[in-house]
A and B are shown apart, each in its own frame.
Chain A
Amino acid sequence: DAGITQSPRHKVTETGTPVTLRCHQTENHRYMYWYRQDPGHGLRLIHYSYGVKDTDKGEVSDGYSVSRSKTEDFLLTLESATSSQTSVYFCAIQPDTNTEAFFGQGTRLTVV
């Protein structure tokens, strides 16, 4: 498996609280992504990064922010969690565009 780990793997949080998910890679890949996976929707891109401190929005970015202060770490923050953000979150890394993306193990987030 590519050197990519997500933490935590599972989290239950209350509505209105902030939550931060972490993605860590040891591959020194330039591109990092956060997706959410929901039944019937496949994988939807939340935010991505194309370098340290370089990030951009994806298809479903509302309510999420990201930061990448080091090549190896990409953080996803839910500023004020809502029940609609209950989902499985996947981080992915990619050496270049139009190449294989390697996914982390996923984080199951439940907002109650």
Chain B
Amino acid sequence: GENVEQHPSTLSVQEGDSAVIKCTYSDSASNYFPWYKQELGKRPQLIIDIRSNVGEKKDQRIAVTLNKTAKHFSLHITETQPEDSAVYFCAAGYNNNDMRFGAGTRLTVKP
């Protein structure tokens, strides 16, 4: 089955700096790559997703890039704010229900 590796496990940045989280996947057939944000004690919520026919997608301060050849995708957060502090999960799936998640990155934005 699919295997997703996520790095780093923890990330600390100063407010206003950028944050980058990287994920690699093993199954070249995977074609859907969502990112979820989970605040402390809350449920995971989708923040952005990308499909394999697109190399990059942006939504305000958040962007995701996908490199199918290298089988990795990244989340970029610019102009970080304290409310961006959370755990972020990447995931990969292929037209099926067995979507695999990375282990998560705990992002801390220091004011």
Contact = CB atoms under 8 A, between A and B. Distances in A.
Interface of A: 31, 33, 35, 40-45, 48, 50, 56, 58-59, 90, 94, 97-98, 100-101, 103-106
A70 B66 CA distance: 38
B101 interface: yes
A48 B98 CA distance: 8
Interface of B: 1, 6, 9, 31-32, 34, 42-46, 49, 51, 89, 91, 93, 95-104
- The majority secondary structure among interface residues of chain A is strand
Contact of B32 (A42, A59, A98, A106): A98
Contacts, number: 55
The 3 A-B residue pairs with the shortest CB-CB distance in the complex, in nearest-first order = A98-B32, A42-B101, A103-B43
